[in-house]
Structure 1
Amino acid sequence: MRVFLLTFGFVCIFSVCQAWTPKFHNGRPRGGFVPPPPRSKSMLGKPLSADMWFNQTLNHFNDADTRTFQQRYFMSDKYYKPGGPVFLSIGGEGPANAVWMENGAWVEYAKEHHAMMFLVEHRYYGKTQPTVDMSVENLQFLSSEQALADLAHFIVFAQEKYKLPDNKWIAIGGSYSGALAGWFRMKYPHLVTGAIATSAPVFAKLNFLEYLSVVRNSLSVSSSSCVTNIQQAVTQLENMLNTTDGRQTLKKMFKLCDDINITNTDDVANLYAVLAGNFEDVVQYNKDNRAFEGAAGTNITIDTLCGIMDKNTSSSALQRYADVNSLMLLTSKEKCQDFTYQKMVDGLRKVDWKSDAAAGGRQWTYQTCTEFGYYQTSDFKSQPFGHKFPLDFFVKQCQDIYDPKFNADLIGRGINRTNTNYGGYGIKVTNVVFPNGSIDPWHALGVVKSLSPDATAIFIDGTAHCANMYPPSSTDPAPLVQARATITKLIGKWVA
C-alpha cells in the first residue's frame, strides 16, 4: 500500500494545470490496498451485483448534527439458509467492487457456512460521497471511528430490512479494512460475533522503518544478489544526477515526463521514492492470485524483477533498474514516468469528486496525516533504495496538501490517539483471527503471534499482502491452503 504524500500546488488560472497521482502511494495502489480478484469463469458475461443504498449518519458523535448521506453496499443471499451467519465485508480506502460478491475466499466460506453476504463501501471512497467535495473542512468526517459507527448503523439497518434479528455476524477485512474488522469486534462486540482481520496494520506509526526492511528481506529470498544490484544502481543514479549530461541520460533511460531539476530536493526525493515504489508494489502483492493491473495476464513477481536486476549481460545495474521501471510503465499503460513533486501535489489537492484524487489518494493521504502515519521512509539504513525520502519529506506533504500546521508533533498526536483508542499491538479482543504473510511489509505493524486462545495469529510463510483473501489456486503453497482451512474452521466455531 504505498502513497506518496504531496503538497498543495498553485492554482492554475490561465492554463490547464498538469497533475498526477502516483501508481503506488504510501503502500496504496491507485485502486486501494485490496485490489479485486478476476471474475470467476462461471460468472463471465453475467451482470455484477447491483448497487444498493441506505441512509447513513454523517456525524455519529454529534446528535445535534442531523445530516445524512447515501452509503453504497452490495448483498448476496445466494448461499444463505435461514438462521445462517451473516458475513460483513468491510470496504477500505478505495471503491467497493462487486466482483468480491462472486469470487474470493470469503465466497467459499459463505458456501460452507450458508452465510448471507454484505459488502459495505467505506465513507468518502468510491461512490459513497458524504459531502459536496473533499475540502479539508469536509474531510473532518473521514475517520476510522466514524467508519466503525457506520458499520454498526448498517447492521441495525440490515437486521430489520433483511429480517436477521438473531443471526451471528462475522466482520471481514483486509489491510486497513482488516484493522477495521478487528477494531469493530473490539468496539461493538454485541453486534459482531467474530472477525477476520487480514494483513491488518493495527499499530499506527509515524516512521514505518520496517517497511523497507521487509522489502529488502523479501527480495533477498528471491536472489542473494538482487539487493546488491539495486544498491549499485542507486549509487550510479546518484552519481549521474550530479551532471547535466547525466540528468539528460537519466531522463531517457527512465522515460521521465520532465527534466530533472537538481536544485529541487522535493523532486529528487520523489524520483527516488517512485523508483523504489516499483519494487514495493510487487513485493507487497507477490503471487496473491489477483489480476495484476494492466499486465495483460502477466503475473509480475519478485522473481520477475530480481531476474531483470540479475541479468548476466553487459548492461549496467542502472540500466537494469531502468528496465524494471519500463516494465512497470508498460503494465500501467503509461508513456512516461511522472515524478515532479508539485505536479503530484497539484493532483492530490483537488477536492472535486470527479478528479483523479477522488479515486482515494487524497482521502487516504488525509487519514495517514490525521490517524495513522505509516510513512514508508528511506530512513532504514540497510535498505538499497537510497536515503533521499526521509520522514521530513512525508511530513512536508501533509503540510502542503492540507495545512501547514501538520508538523510531526501534530501527526504524532493523532497516531498516539489511534493506538490509545484501539490498543495497538495489545488490542484486547476475542474471536478474531489475524492472518499475515511473511513477505508482506505490512506484517511488521500487525499481530503475528497469537494474543490469546481466542485471538489467533496465522503467520503464512511465503505469502504477501492479503493473499488469503483471494480465490484459491492449485499453485497455492501449503501454508496458504492451511491458513484458509484454519479460518473457515474458526468461523464454524464462532457461529456454532
Structure 2
Amino acid sequence: MSQRLLLLLLLMWTEADPRREAPGGPGGVPLEGSLLQPLDHFDRLEGRSLSQRYWINREFWQQPDGPVFLLLGGESGLSPGVLSRGHVVELARAHGALLAALEHRFYGGSRGPGGDLDLRFLSSQQALADLAAFRLHVTSAWGLSPNHTWVCFGGSYAGALAAWARLKFPHLVSAAVASSAPIRAQVDFAGYHHVVSTALSSPTVGGSPECLGAVTAAFAALDGRLRGRQLAGVTRDFSCCRPPREPGDRELLAENVVDIFAGAVQYNGHRPRDSVAALCRAMTDGRRGSPYRRLVAINKTFLRRGGLSCTPSSRRAAVRELRHPKAGGNRRLWLFQTCTEFGFYPSCRDAACPFSRFQTLRAQLSLCADVFGISPARVRAAVAFTNAFYGAAHPDTRRVLFVNGELDPWRVLSAGGGRSGVLIAGASHCADMAPTRPGDPPALRAARQRIAAHLAAWLAPPAPLNHTGMGGPGGGDGTRVSFAPPHDP
C-alpha cells in the first residue's frame, strides 16, 4: 500500500491563547486553542517548543465531575468537526463528558518554531508525552481534579496511540477505545493483501471467486507487459504521468494501481462508488473485454473521480517530492514514521496475493534510504524496538477495548478477542467511529452497543463492599470496574 493510501485518513472525520480560553463555546461549537509543547520532552535543555492545536467541546459536560473524552489525532490534521459528529460525540452526550481533541505534532497546524518540521522530534513517544502535558494543561485550565477520569479514543494510528496512552500512563488515562489500531509494528506486512484477497472473493460484501480470479489475471497481464517492456502501451493504457522506464518506476505504477483495490476494501462503505461490490461488478463484466482491459477502465474511472490527470509513475519525481519538507506534506511525515518506528510495508510475494509482483518489500524499503538515508537494517531495528517498547500485539494493560472491522486489513496488526475486543462482521476501517445512521447494518449497531456497555461499566461508581469484604460483580471485561485512577481493576 502506498503512502497516499495510508493517508486517506479515514474518518468521518485561529490560534487561541490558552490563557484567555473561555469556559465553553456557544451552541456546542468547539473552541480552538494552542499549547506550547517542548520540542523534545526528553531533553529539557533543548529549549525550543512547538505550537500544538487542540479543541474543546463542553456542550454535554456535566460539571464538575463529568469525565473527559479525549480524541487523539494521527497522521493527518484535525478540524473542529471531529468534536461535533461521530460515535464518540454520541457517547459524550450519554455520559455528560467534556470532549477534547488533540492534533498530532507536526501534522495539520501543529508545527515547530517558525513552522519548522524537524523530524528528529516526530515519534509516537513524543506524541504520548504531548498527551501527558495536555492533560496537565486542561486539568489546570478547567479546574479538574488531578484524579479526574479521562478516556482516550482513536482510530488507526491514533487508535494505537490511545491504547499506548493507557499502557504507559495508567495514572493519567483511565481507559481507551482503540479502533482499527495497528499496535504491532511489522516490516513486511504481507498479511494486508491476504485480507484484501479474502474480501474480493466474499459474496457477503459483493465479492466473488470470479472477481478474485479476474483481479489476479488482470495484474498478471500487467506484470507481463511491464516485464516485457511494453511500456508505450502501458503508459497509454494507464495514463501514466511519465513512461515507467527508470528503476523503480514500474514498482510505483503497480503500487498505485493496487491502491484502488486496497482502498476499496479498507474503506468499503465509506465511498460507495469505490466499494468491493462496485469494483467486482466492473471486474466481472465481460462486455469490458479481458480482465486487463477491465483493470485499465477501472483505473481511468479512478483518475476521473479523483480529479487526477495521470497515474504517478516516476519514482525519481516521487523521491524528489518526499525529500522536500513542504512539498511532501503529510506523506513525508508518515513515511518518516514508518521508516523509524512501524514498517507497515505490504508486499506481494506469495500465491495468496492477487496483485502485482512488482509490489516488493525491497522497493518500499528503498524509499527510506533514498529520502531519509535510513537503511533497511535500521528500519528493522526500529520496528523491533517499537514492539519491545509497547509490547507488540499483547500489551500488558487493562481497560483497553480493541475494535476492528472484519474487512479491515489493519486488524491483522491489532489485538483483542472475546471480551477484550470487538470484531464487526462486514465492516471496514474505523467504521464504528462514524456517526450513527438509520441504515447502519445490524453488526455495526451491535458493536456500538458493546462499546457503550464497556464504557458504562468503566465509568460506573465503585461497587460497595459486601458482607465478605469483597467487591461486587465486575464489568464487561470480567474485572471489577471501580474507576478511580491510578488503580487498575
TM-score by length of 1: 0.85
SS of aligned partner of 1:123: coil
CA distance in 2, matches of 1:49, 1:314: 49
Offset, 1:99: 1.5
Quote the offset at 1:299 in angstroms: 4.1
By how many angstroms is 1:237 displaced?
A: 1.7
The answer to whether the 8 Å contact 1:3/1:365 transfers is: no
Residue in 2 aligned with 1:268?
A: 250
Alpha-carbon deviation of 1:260? Answer: 2.8
- 8 A Cα contact 1:270 1:339, kept in partner: yes
| CA–CA distance in structure 1, aligned partners of residues 227 and 2 of structure 2 | 28
Q: Distance in 1 between matches of 2:139 and 2:97?
A: 14
Is 2:389 aligned against 1:421? Answer: yes
For residues 103 and 437 of structure 1, the distance between their equivalents in structure 2, rounded to whole angstroms, comes to 20
Q: Which amino acid aligns with 1:398?
A: C
**Structure 1 299/47 Cα, relative in aligned 2: closer, same or farther at 3 Å?**
farther
Call closer, same or farther: CA 1:312–1:51 in 2, change over 3 Å: same
Question: Match of 2:219?
Answer: 234
The residue that corresponds to 1:143 in the other structure is 123
Between the aligned partners of 2:296 and 2:114, the Cα distance in structure 1 is 42
Match of 1:302 in 2: 276
Question: Alpha carbons of 1:415 and 1:212: their partners in 2 closer, same or farther (altered >3 Å)?
Answer: same
Matching residue of 1:58: 39
1:190 and 2:154 aligned: no
**Is residue 2:342 matched to residue 1:383?**
no
Runs of 4 or more above 6 Å deviation: none
Is residue 213 from structure 1 mapped to residue 203 from structure 2 by the alignment? no
Structural mapping, 1:382-421, within 5 Å: 382-403=352-373, 406-421=374-389
Higher relative contact order (CA 8 A, sep 6+): 1
**Pair 1:371-2:341 in alignment:** yes
| 1:3 matched to 2:17 | no
Q: Is the CA contact (8 Å cut-off) linking 1:86 and 1:169 kept in structure 2?
A: yes
Alignment match of 1:155 (pick from 130, 135, 154): 135
Tell me which residue corresponds to 2:318: 344
- 1:108-187 → structure 2 map (5 Å cutoff): 108-132=90-114, 138-165=118-145, 166-187=147-168
Distance 2:36 2:48 in 1: 10
Post-superposition offset of 1:393: 0.7
Instruction: Find the counterpart in structure 2 of residue 35 from structure 1.
Output: 11
Distance 1:276-1:131 versus aligned 2 partners, 3 A rule: farther
Q: Does the Cα contact within 8 Å between 1:210 and 1:380 map onto a contact in 2?
A: no
Contact 1:193–1:495 (Cα < 8 Å) also in 2:
no
Question: Residues 85 and 114 of structure 1 are in contact (CA less than 8 Å); yes or no, is this contact kept in structure 2?
Answer: yes
Q: Secondary structure at the match of 1:447?
A: coil
Query: 2:453 maps to what in 1?
Result: 489
| CA distance in structure 2 between the partners assigned to 1:181 and 1:235 by the alignment | 40
C-alpha contact (below 8 Å) 1:182/1:197 kept by paired residues? yes
Task: Report the AA paired with residue 301 of structure 1.
Answer: S
Instruction: Name the Cα RMSD after superposition.
Output: 1.8
**Take 2:86 and 2:273, find their aligned partners in 1: how far apart are those partners?**
18
Q: Residues of 2 paired with 1:491 and 1:242: CA distance?
A: 54
2:79 is aligned with 1:97: yes
- In 1: Cα distance, 2:244 partner to 2:122 partner: 36
C-alpha distance 50-80 of structure 1, shift in aligned 2 (>3 A): closer
Mapped to 2, the partners of 1:68 and 1:241 lie a distance apart of 49
Residue by residue over 1:401-458, the C-alpha shift from the partner in whole angstroms, topping out at 9 and shown as x without a partner, is 001xx222211111111111110111011111000111000000011424xx6xx111
Task: Give the aligned residue type for 1:253.
Answer: D
Q: Distance in 2 between matches of 1:71 and 1:101?
A: 17
Determine helix, strand or coil for the equivalent of 1:426.
coil
Given residue 318 of structure 1, which amino acid in structure 2 is its aligned partner? Y
Name the CA distance, whole Å, in 2 between partners of 1:274 and 1:314. Answer: 21
Q: Tell me the TM-score normalised to structure 2 length.
A: 0.87
Is 1:438 matched with 2:406? yes
Do 1:36 and 1:99's aligned partners in 2 also have CA atoms closer than 8 Å? no
| One-letter amino acid matched to 2:428 | A
Aligned to 1:42: none
Q: Is the 8 A contact 1:174 1:200 kept in 2?
A: yes
Cα shift readout 1:340-396 (whole Å, capped 9, x = no counterpart): 1111111111113xx3x22x1111100000000011112243211121121111111
CA distance in 2, matches of 1:210, 1:464: 16
Q: Which amino acid aligns with 2:222?
A: L
- The gaps in structure 1 that reach 5 residues or longer are 5-22, 38-45, 293-297
What's the secondary structure of 2:201's corresponding residue? helix
Judged with a 3 Å threshold, the aligned counterparts in structure 2 of structure 1 residues 72 and 303 are, in CA distance, closer, same or farther, namely same
CA displacement, residues 32-89 of structure 1 (integer Å, 9 cap, x when unaligned): x33334xxxxxxxx99645311121111111222222211001100111111111000
Identity of aligned residues (%): 31
Cα pair 2:242 2:312 within 8 Å, conserved: yes
1:299 and 1:233 map into 2 onto residues whose CA distance is 20
1:257 paired residue number:
241
The SS at the match of 1:343 is helix
In the aligned structure 1, how far is the partner of 2:135 from the partner of 2:219? 51
Letter paired with 1:77: R
Q: Determine if contact 2:244/2:253 at 8 Å carries over to the other structure.
A: no
Counterpart of 1:51 in 2: which secondary structure? strand
Work out which of the residue numbers 316, 326, 332 in structure 1 matches 2:290.
316
Q: What is the distance in 1 between the residues matched to 2:189 and 2:196?
A: 12
- Quote the Cα distance in structure 1 between the aligned partners of 2:277 and 2:174: 40
Distance change in 2, residues 1:407/1:161 (3 Å) = same
Shift, 1:101, TM fit: 1.2
- Counterpart of 1:271 in structure 2: which amino acid? L
Q: Residue type matched to 2:362 in 1?
A: D
- What is the alpha-carbon distance in structure 2 between the residues aligned to residue 242 and residue 175 of structure 1? 36
**CA–CA distance in 2 between the matches of 1:77 and 1:476?**
28
Q: Which residue of 2 aligns with 1:335?
A: 309
Runs of 5+ consecutive residues of structure 2 not aligned to the other structure? 14-26, 461-489
- How much has 1:243 moved relative to structure 2? 5.6
- Whole-Å separation in 1 of the counterparts to 2:231 and 2:43: 55
